[in-house]
Amino acid sequence: MEIPYKDLSDDALQAIIEEFITREGTEYGAHEYSLQQKIEQIKAQLQLGKIVINYDVDSQSCHLQSKLS
């Protein structure tokens, strides 16, 4: 089930994004980014509609996924 990011409180959105970022593990890119920079990148992608927040009822967890065209 897709959850519009605008329907979430700032705290809930922040927690979902932080959990996603820390779950991804090791950086593989050429640049290191701070946690705050990564959060801002994710928020920008949400605002542009490039990614969406999905809630999985079975696992009762949220996931960020690329928007399917």
Nearest one of 54, 59, 69, 50 to 4, comparing CA atoms: 54
* pLDDT for residue 15: 94
pLDDT at 23 over 90: no
pTM for this one? 0.82
Report domain extents, the chain.
2-66
Superfamily of segment(s) 2-66: YehU-like (1.10.10.610)
Greater confidence (52 vs 29) lies with 52
* pLDDT for residue 4: 95
- pLDDT confidence bin for 36, thresholds 50/70/90: very high
- pLDDT confidence bin for 50, thresholds 50/70/90: very high
